[in-house]
Copies of this chain bind each other. A is one copy, B any other.
Amino acid sequence: MTVLHLAETTVRKRKSKCAQVCSVKSVKKRLPIVGWLPKYTFTTLIQDIIAGITVGLTAIPQGIAYAVVAGLSPEYGLYAGLMGGFVYMIFGSCKDVTVGPTAIMSAIVAKYVSSYSADFAVLSAFLSGVIILLMGIFQLGFVVEFISAPVISGFTTAAALQIASAQLKAIFGLTGAAGTYFAASIYNFTQNIGTLKLWDTVLGFTSIAFLMAMKKLGEGCKRTDGAGKQMRWFISLARNAIVVIIGMLIAFTVKTITKGDEPLALIGEIGSGIPTFGIPPFTSVVGNETYSFPDMLKALGPESIVIPFVSILESVAIAKAFAGGVQVDATQEMIALGMCNIFGSFVRSMPITGSFTRTALNNASGVATTAGGIFTAALIILALSVLTSTFYFIPSASLAALIITAMFSMIDYTIFCRLWRCSKRELFVLFLTMAVSLGLGLEYGIVAGVLTEAAMLLFATARPSIKSVHVKSDTGRQSLMITLNDSLSYCSAEHVRREIFKATRISEALIVVDGTNLESMDTTVASNLMAVVKDLDKLSRRIVFVNFSPEIQKMCLVLHPNASDCFISAAKTEDVIAKVSTTSPPLSKVLVD
């Protein structure tokens, strides 16, 4: 299909879209809450409450942990989990999806927070929201399809390693900076290893062991199992909260016993209360310097475009994974996600997206509608109102353990082996993405991966396989059959010309170029084909083009009107030879122009 054809289809789609906007059906499509709310029952309410609170038990410790990953004060992670639930309930089309802070988004904004201030994280949430919303409205979500599975995998693995490496500081109780990308974190770790604190390390590694054991405990258990297994399932899914609570209790006890001495590093004072609703920060003061909006944009830099793209990528992938065989409305998901980020930025949220762990938990907890999110949000509001003074006692090592353990499951270990077996080219792309992500930063890694893959794709398009075989007709006359691919573009024009030429040198037979499969071609290829006609004519050689579509013939004949005798239609090779034999005057005479 040519691009033009596609463009026409898109125009047609847009037109029908315009008509849709005004219909009741489209309101339901764009505001999914209108669809399910009237049918809402007491049973679904109970289901949503249970699932919402269960998710909340993970959302609170994860929110605090991911705020720490971003280098933000812990309450930001809770702010980020707040608005997602409310807004997604209205606009979201997939009941299981939970929008909130994620490790990867936190890792990407960490750079801005450590170099500038929290305002930059909030502004990037707002801007990402606007971009995502616009991309949803203009149906530009397809751009994330240009991020291949190996690039995503390399990026995710690098993100996991980077996030885990940045927690080395906390789990060993080191002093000094953590580092905003893997290489920096590892370097800082080796520099500061001498400042290791015993008790933080002990607590950290014990917590990791505990988390892994509890994960194991829940394996094979379901919510719908008997009491014993159900209990194991619940303990397993609440493991993050349990580890944090135990950590807090230990820290509190130690402080009480030692009367003020704190052997463990704690996250300390956190802002309390529900955040006030206010416009996102379009100016910011960092140190003594005031950043205007253009200054802030410049600080975010062009690489920050990765934020909305990764956000879309994560969210749509999760929606698809939990859609259960139903087609996901990516446009609607993007509108919902954009809204979540925009509204989130009004309560000082960092950029948010669909969370895989919490979405899986939501699904496993039997959520019935997107209303589950508001009960999660309610629990977060409760935590912000009454628990912030308690959060003071959360040991940094416990959070680090939680983060590091979560990273283990983010890495897809099987893909390395799979790509080694099937496609070493794609394995190379994966390693390249990883290497750049780890060495320079995640945003550069994904860009490097996408560009490399696109360059490889263009290169492959420039070198289509062109098969040539000798065919003998019943009458004994030979011809050399060159079969063209289904699509030829400008960058393959030279290659096609060369291949035909090469074929003419190995054989003296009539050259037959078979365009039966050829669906699209551009004028650069057409002019190269006509150049072949002219060149072969100089050598008094014959060439015929068989079964070229009328559009493609026209494209060629506009360039070289005398070549019309070269184009014939035939069902079989024998017919070609029969037709050419009867052509008079000889082709080589006709083609002089």
Contacts and interface: CB of A to CB of B under 8 A. Distances in A.
Contacts of A305: none
- Chain A interface size band reads 35 or more
Interface string A1-33: 111101100000000000000000000000000
Contacts of A465: 1, 486, 519
Contact of A324 (B453, B460, B538): B538
Contacts of A494: 142, 145
Interface centre among A150, A461, A519 (most CB of B within 10 A): A461
Contacts of A520: 460
Given A3-B459, A325-B536, A536-B325, A495 B422 contact: no
Q: How many copies does the complex hold?
A: 2
Interface in A279-338: 324-325, 327
A386 to B, nearest CB: 44
Contact of A490 (B148, B492, B495, B555): B148
Interface string A467-499: 000000000000000000111011111110010
Nearest to A151: B490
Contact of A538 (B325, B418, B423, B524): B325
Contacts of A149: 490, 493, 523-524, 527
A498 B3 contact: no
Given A418-B559, A458-B146, A458-B458, A523 B426 contact: yes
A495 B419 CA distance: 22
Nearest to A541: B325
A498 B327 contact: yes
A462 B519 contact: no
A517 B517 contact: yes
B150 A460 contact: no
A421 interface: yes
List the 5 closest pairs (A to B, CB-CB), nearest first. A148-B490, A1-B465, A325-B535, A325-B538, A149-B524
9 contacts: A145-B491, A146-B491, A149-B490, A422-B526, A423-B523, A426-B523, A457-B491, A461-B461, A464-B487
